[in-house]
Amino acid sequence: MLSSSVPCLVPSSHSPSSLLLNLKSTKTLKDLRQLHSLAIKTGQIHNPLTAAEALRISALSNPPDLQYARKLFDQMPEPNLFSYNTLIRAFSESDDNPLEALQIFLQLLHYEPLQPNRYTFPSILKACARIKGYEHGRQIHCLIVKLGIAHDGFVFTNLVRMYSVCGLMDDAQSLVRKSSFLSGNEAGIVLNNILIDGYFRLRMIREAREVFETMSNRTVVSWNGMISNLVEIGLFKEAIDIFHRMQVEGMKPNYVTLVSVLPAISRIGALELGKWVHLYAERSGIVVDDILGSALVDMYSKCGNIEKAIQVFEGLPKGSPITWNALISGLAMHGQARQALKYFKAMEQASVSPSDVTFIGILNACSHAGFVCEGRNYFDIMVKGYGLRPRLEHYGCLVDMLGRAGRIEEAVEIVKKMPVKPDDVIYKALLSACMLHENSELGAWAANKLVELAPYDSGCYVLLSNLYASMGDWEAVANVRLKMKELDIRKDPGCSWITVDGIVHEFVVEDDTHPRATEIKSMLEEMADKLRSEGYVPDTRGVLVNIDEEEKESAVLHHSEKIALSFGLISTNPGVSLQIVKNLRICADCHESIKLASKIYGRRIIVRDRIRFHHFEDGFCSCNNYW
């Protein structure tokens, strides 16, 4: 008999209809199992309707029990098309086993009395897309045509999506060109959005743009798709341009738009625009939940305004770790290790379990502040206290922290003993530490490991070359450069952004393409003169080539952050603070120069490099030259 804990499920009579009714109102898999055993005992499992209903519930509940559903299915003597479709749909949407959907589909094809219908194909095409099985997809396409259902809107859309996800854009395009039979604008917009996503997945940006530009009716989904795809591949300025254009063309941004564009604003450091987005959310009644809120916290901290980030954080729901993570990482970036640790304590007190991302923030904070003992301690808390398995990133933080503090042997010890295979990031951290503390022997060891691991990464060769250059071994430098040429590896261009009057200006190294290039150039020269009279000597260790000293000086003078600074100085009023974002780590020479420039020109200059913030004021930097 059934246990007494679920009396409501015991049917008053065992008539087939009452059991079926009970099944239909079942909410949990546990209840389902009890009814199932009752159905077996009473023989009602042989009623096809009862079995099909039990299958539907186990396959489509959230989360489903697919093993159970499959078992029910296999026990059906003559499963109907509804049961086939149910199971195919459930497996096509499953995380771990979309291939199973194809197997059930094959079984259906071989089962004479039934034929797949318009409800079968969307799921099976989805499964093909998930496993990138375009060969199966093509055969299924033929079958769809043969069965005469290719003009079903739902089936057709899923065909286009299958080709697009599998990267067969020509097939997807040619189908879309034949889609005139679909009625209504809506369908065309959906198809074009699928094409745009497909082109972005293949990094075919020009083609994606072309589809977007030729769309007659774009919805907010189309705009959001462009923005999130551009952000995804790192074209931040382009994403922001689309965001601006969308408003010019009268399309209202929604919640998704804001969540998508904020990371681009953060990366470029466009604080004014970020503030505008925040205000827009408040004014248009868009709910600032933990996801949008965290994106805002991240934006304010990455745009240099950590006080505002804290303020936004205070007003957010704090039930999930993501809001805490955004703030802790932000504080780490600003070198405010004490504050980061304080919020970590508060997080624990609020009974929010830290995630592994939280500890990346904490370890970074300790690393930037030189809190080596605390950092090691938190690493232990993460593993022993919270049972989190450290990932490569955590070991990376640890190695970076020890390396910066000059404890290079300990860092090497960790690299040799860590249970996951160290990656190039870890060796890069180690190599940078070796250069900082002039340990050429371990440096060379790390450099060789690095080139082994990432033979096509320009960053590795630059570091290696810098190491040899700092040792004055010009022959080795020349060999590295030769190797780069052989493998056709180009240096990642340094790039800096500065926002003046709401407009983002982008500069690369030796950039002379700006409309005010001539003025910028004379400002650079004036700055170099003033710096020299303050006793500054160019630090050219970061310059790759064995050229004479004067040329090297000119090379460091034209780093993108110095060009951005000159532009900032000539285009703003005296005393206005300047904010520059650099995509790579700031070099020692730029750091020293900007420090002095902040004093000479009486400006507060904030530079965010790839790793952290530097607040320069009156000849000092907030990082205390520790970065």
Q: Give the footprint of Zn ion on this chain (CB under 5 A).
A: 559, 587, 590, 614, 621, 623
> Looking at the DSSP assignment, which residues form a beta bridge with residue 605?
578, 616
**336-343 long-range contacts, CB within 8 A, separation 24+:** 336/306, 336/365, 337/365, 337/366, 337/368, 337/369, 337/371, 337/374, 338/369, 340/365, 341/365, 341/374
Specify which residues 620 forms β-bridges with: 617
CB 420 within 8 A of CB 404: no
- Residue 320 phi/psi, 5° resolution? -110, 155
- Taking the CA atoms of residue 162, residue 168, residue 171 and residue 176 in that order, the dihedral angle to the nearest 10 degrees is 60
User: In 3-state terms, the chain is what percent helix, strand and coil (to 5)?
Assistant: 65, 5, 30
Distance CA 309, CA 296 (A): 7
In the complex, the smallest distance separating the C-beta of residue 411 from Zn ion, rounded to whole angstroms, is: 22
Cα(69)–Cα(474) distance, rounded to whole angstroms?
Answer: 69
Nearest distance from C-beta of residue 455 to Zn ion, angstroms? 26
At its nearest, how many Å lie between Zn ion and the CB of residue 342?
Answer: 23
Cα–Cα distance between 587 and 542 in angstroms, integer?
A: 7
CB of 614 to Zn ion, least distance (A): 3
Return d(Cα 179, Cα 41) in angstroms, integer: 53
Nearest-approach distance from CB 222 to Zn ion, in angstroms = 40
Nearer to Zn ion, 397 or 607 (CB): 607
Transcribe 480-506 into DSSP letters.
HHHHHHHTT--PPPPEEEEEETTEEEE
Q: Which is nearer to Zn ion, 162 or 586 (CB)?
A: 586
Indicate the residue among 66 and 621 with the shorter CB distance to Zn ion.
621
Instruction: Compute how many other C-beta atoms are within 10 angstroms of the C-beta atom of residue 184.
Output: 8
Contact 468, 499 (CB under 8 A): no
Amino acid at 111: Y
410: which residues sit within 8 A by CB, 6+ positions away? 402
442 vs 564 by CB, closer to Zn ion? 564
| 599: exposed, middle or buried (Cβ count in 10 Å: 0-12, 13-18, 19+) | middle
- Smallest distance, Zn ion to C-beta of residue 258, A: 32
